[in-house]
Amino acid sequence: MTEDLIRSLIAKCSATIKAHAEELTALDQAIGDGDHGLNMARGFTAVAAAVDDIAVLPFGEALNKAGTTLIMKVGGASGPLYGSLLMGMGKCVTDVPRGSQAVAAMLQAGIDAVKARGKSDAGAKTMLDVLIPVQQAIDAGRGIAEVRRTADAALTATKDMRATKGRAAFLGERSIGHLDPGARSSALLVQAVCDLLEGK
Amino acid sequence: MNDKVSIVIVSHSADVAKGTADMVRQMVGDDVRVAFCGGNPDGGLGTDVAAIMAAIESVYSPKGVAVLVDLGGAETNSEVAIEMLPDGRGANVQICNAPVVEGAVMAATEAASGASLEAVRKTAEDF
């Protein structure tokens, strides 16, 4: 059962990232170094290629291995950041978490790892600006539809933020008015997992 | 040669990494061991954790290794590579917060004098 879930998660997430690779790269060309879509697609292609090795593992170890794969294959900062997210989550659980509190605790562990790796926090116009509100919604016991809305609203909110981390930080005020590419990829992944949970 | 701090250059571009290493070698000759890497795992612009680890290992010295990086991803991937080094070697490896070309030249010049890793890093960062 866990194996089927892991296979579905990998297939859904990698298909989503690949389908939006050009959009992510376009967002990154506006305020970053223009490689986010390409890098994420490379990383998730590598995870998908390793699905037979990953899916047979217990859930926590599978997250850890997927995270390591992203770190080794992405080629940009998003590798260690998304890798840390998955590895942080993987360290927090053995099996698939049951119930919103357990899922929220797992996601919080991942967020803590991203904060440490990126030396960042909420409000710096990064992936954390989507992940943190999503975690809070899950922790508050909100349903899938509400989690989706939270992710979309959080992504939109990055548009008016001023970047203080990463390549976009060089742009200062000029980063305002653009969606953050990392926030976009995080929102895409949240929606992909929601799709899966809703059987889409 | 293990009595001197080694230098590792990490750039998004393999050409920049190699060019920087060439400049360093011209300045300090073979007194200081220099390794470099650039490019993502597919060979495009970017950085590669495995390649960074290999570069550090190729010039590793208990005296220390100073790593010079260019843009953000190079720094993040270098941090991960250092943490993944075996046998606690990462404790003797430091990233210098300095421009990659100038920092590498300054670091190598200081390293050639037999200075400590801390002194090498400070020289690169104060430039």
Tokens in use for A46?
A: 């590598």
Give the predicted TM-score (pTM) of the model. 0.92
Q: Do B79 and A79 touch (CB under 8 A)?
A: no
Cβ neighbours, 10 Å, residue A5:
14
Which range (A150-154, A166-170, B2-6) has the least confidence? A166-170
Contacts of B64 (CB under 8 A, 6+ apart): B5, B6, B92, B93, B94, B116, B117, B120
CA separation for the pair A116, A103 (Å, rounded): 20
Q: Are B57 and B84 in contact (CB under 8 A)?
A: no
Which residues of chain A lie closer than 8 angstroms to B48, CB-CB? 72, 75
- Check residue B1 and give its pLDDT: 53
What are the residue boundaries of the structural domains of chain B, listed by start? 6-125
List the structure tokens of A89: 């989550």
DSSP states of A83-152 as a string? HHHHHHHHHH-SS---SHHHHHHHHHHHHHHHHHHHT--TTSSSTHHHHHHHHHHHHTT--HHHHHHHHH
CB half-sphere exposure, B4, CA atoms < 13 A: 17
pLDDT tens, position by position, B29-51: 888 999 999 999 998 999 999 99
Kindly state the percentage of chain B with pLDDT values over 90: 89
Q: What is B6-125's CATH number, 3.40.50.510, 3.20.20.70, 3.20.20.10, 3.40.50.620?
A: 3.40.50.510
pLDDT digits (tens, 9 = 90+) for A91-117: 999 999 999 999 999 999 999 999 999
Indicate which residues of B carry an active-site annotation.
12
| B11–chain A Cβ distance below 8 A for any pair | no
Distance from CA of B42 to the nearest CA of A (A): 8
Domains and CATH numbers, chain A: 2-197 (1.25.40.340)
Q: How confident is the model at residue A169 (pLDDT cuts 50, 70, 90)?
A: confident
pLDDT given for residue B71 in this prediction: 84
